[in-house]
Amino acid sequence: MKLNTGTITKRLNPHKILIIRTDRIGDVILTLPVIDTLKLNYPDAKIDFLVNRKVFELVQDYPNINKVHAIEKDSITHIKKICKENDYDLAIAVRPLFVIALALFLAGVKYRLSTGYRWYSFLFNIKHYEHRKYSVKHELEYNLNLLDELGCKRIENVQPALNVNPEETEKVAAKLESIGVDIKKKFIIIHPGSLGSAKRWKSANFTELINMLINDDSFKLNIILTGTKDDELTLNAVEGGLKNKEIVYEITDLSLKEFAALCKMSVLFTSNSTGPIHIAAAVGAYCIGFYSPVTVESAARWGPYTERKKIFTPETSDYTANGDVMDKIKPVEVYEFIMNYISK
């Protein structure tokens, strides 16, 4: 049964709230405004966040969070235990998996808010009826719309934001110096890796872009190639075709907080649709993103939530044509944009 929003708003005065978003980096960052909005509406409530352990470090000291719980994988037993031990009176499943819905129900959380469109939505007693599958809005807006069921006031000019501590900046500077980077010289970041959740710009395109930049005498910046150990094949493919590596440096041993610090230090950040672009946007870096024309993968749904961005998307409606549709984004277009941007 769908409860009346007005009745809930009058009755609900939660003391302990749990927000659940247990997937990837970008998903978690785009959920942070939910926490800020809840704090605005329930200033005396303690707001906890449940995330995947891989993302824990990034949000563990976020200002409006009382406590961050981290789990390796979604588990009915584990989530139920967390809820029982912390006595939440409101839980919001931004990621509405069955195991999460059942765990909240079995834990006896008084108010359980999530989508009304899953077969197991009867396990939630506050339901939000809005499909995400058509991707007509940004993911951040879909997340915030859940709070309409609570009658929450919205924050004006909402923007995900991550703080960077001076200590992290110092650590990054030391790591850059250790690989030969002159930290007094400005740099751009190119992050060619991707987890494969959307169509991606190929390594060869990144190689061609970098070659254009390093061959331009007016380009006076260093280039930092970033990734994790899992991205080594991609990074090797990009670097293998470079004609000159004198101003190109690779770094793969950064923590998430150090990565955020690196992004904040950069002139601009360039990548496919992937979690790190949301980190870059959240620390105020200018973002260049390569996004698929497929609706459910588009920048309209998954782009960095910032005005400081340039999105490149293939101009086509035919996603099934022979060849890679992302190759329609030409490296020369990106090169010209970067040179124009840094000249200003």
| pTM, two decimal places | 0.94
Distance CA(221)–CA(128), nearest Å, equals 48
Structural domain containing residue 50:
5-150
Residues 187 and 100 reside in one and the same domain: no
Distance CA(267)–CA(262), nearest Å, equals 10
Q: Which of 150, 182, 203 is the last residue of a domain?
A: 150
Q: In the prediction, which pLDDT does 323 show?
A: 64
Per the CB < 8 A criterion, the answer to whether 218 and 243 are in contact is no
Residue 120 domain-assigned? yes
Confidence of residue 333 (pLDDT cuts 50, 70, 90): very high
Residues 107 and 240 reside in one and the same domain: no
Judged against a pLDDT cut of 70, whether residue 2 lies above it is answered with no
Tens of pLDDT, residue by residue over 167-180, are: 999 999 999 999 99
CATH number at residue 299: 3.40.50.2000
- Residues in contact with 103: Cβ distance below 8 Å, sequence separation at least 6, in sequence order: 75, 76, 77, 78, 79, 80, 83
Residue 160 domain-assigned? no
Judged against a pLDDT cut of 60, whether residue 321 lies above it is answered with no
Residues 301 and 241 reside in one and the same domain: yes
Residue 159 domain-assigned? no
Residues 118 and 217 reside in one and the same domain: no
Tens of pLDDT, residue by residue over 99-124, are: 999 999 999 999 999 999 999 999 99
